[in-house]
Amino acid sequence: MAARAADGTDAADRDVPDVPDGVRPPAEPPRAVTLDHVLGARKILSGVVRTTPLEGSRHLSGLIGAPVHLKCENLQRTGSFKVRGAYTRIAALAREERAAGVVAASAGNHAQGVALAAALLGVRATVFMPVSAPLPKIAATRSYGAGVRLCGQGLDEALSAARQHARRTGAVLVHPFDHPDVVAGQGTVGLEILEQCPEVRTIVVAMGGGGLAAGTAVAVKALRPDVRIVGVQAAGAAAYPPSLAAGRPVTLAEPVTMADGILVGRPGAVPFALVRELVDEVRTVSEDALARALLLCLERAKMVVEPAGAAPVAALLAEPDSFEGPLVAVLSGGNVDPLLLQRVLRHGMAAAGRYLSLSVRLTDRPGALAALLEVLSAADANVLDVGHVRTDPRLGLTEAEVELHLETKGHAHCAAVREALRAAGYRVTA
């Protein structure tokens, strides 16, 4: 077990401050995680976590020209891989540490993992969550028996509050990614992949703080050093590329992404060292790519995933020719807020050309709108919403502008609808 600091937290759980380039930080190097640690975690987790299924994807296989499999951690207990690391960490605590309880900070998935793990081990748990955390994740965390306290706007503020709670009460901080036991627990995903797909050549995994990617890489590279490990971050919260370039964890000023599961502004010291050594490449994906990937998982794989869980699929969609198969993409979580899912689906459908918004100017006379709708009907565009503007000063005295939201069948159909309107004499302004 890692050494305890004077403030009641493990040394691996404390933030390592940024230091100027060329200056070595005074902190001790993080403890390594080895294959033996991962194998030990697997014994601890036996009978506790599911061996999640590996499902083939014909659609993605066709895109990259080689077999693609989805590792369905969205079907894990609590809906994500996080319970693996949380249970491994808490199970390793001494009796007196368990008696003091545990505390965690999370936007949702780690919270649920800690809550369930603590309940199974008979340990009191307190979880600090951002006030913006999705309501279903808050409710699920409470349902597993943990006390939930809402604090701050993001994970960093919640984590600071959790550390203060640990200092006040003596509770053990269960960090979401920056601890060897947590990384070892997440590494059991890699062991399962090798057993389920021994011919695998590439594994693609989402990255926030880096615990899952680091643990997977430890297990896989020890047994199959030829397998390529690719980490994927949301472009708006990609702390690993600048950190790897600097040779140390650095902090993003304002990380932003809808993928709350990987919304982390600074890599953990423990996973960073392992990622730098063992992960072959880190890629970034846009919000549009995440939305398209989530939509594809629903439509083609019949899998409900959250945006973070869809990040590996987003990377495949962005550059399908750049991956070697057979390939395994890890769907890391499925705990998506229904309201976010609704917005993401609409955004994803728009990005895929399934929605079209435009404005059309026409003569303001009886029957003009009906004639416009006839053109759209002939073009096989389904009208979802219509707005009629007559008072805009940019319009002529006899003009009206119609704002249309249409359901379409893809980018080619969108172009055909626009062309049909122009051919009918309409001025399309947006």
The catalytic residue positions are: 82, 332
**Pairing, β 327-331 against β 202-206:** parallel
- Specify the 3-state DSSP secondary structure of 403: strand
Per-position DSSP letters for 39-84, written without gaps between them: HHHHHHHTTTS----EEE-HHHHHHHTS-EEEEEGGGSGGGBTHHH
401 closest CA partner among 410, 388, 412: 388
| Phi, psi dihedral angles at 111 (to 5 degrees) | -60, -45
- CA 92-96-101 angle, 5° bins: 75
CA distance 121 to 82: 16
Gyration radius of the chain over CA positions:
25
Residue 215 burial class via C-beta count within 10 angstroms: exposed 0-12, middle 13-18, buried 19 and up: buried
Here the tokens at position 316 are 């495949």
Per-position DSSP letters for 324-388, written without gaps between them: -SSEEEEE-B----HHHHHHHHHHHHHHTTSEEEEEEEEE-STTHHHHHHHHHHHTTPEEEEEEE
Tokens 């369905």 correspond to 72
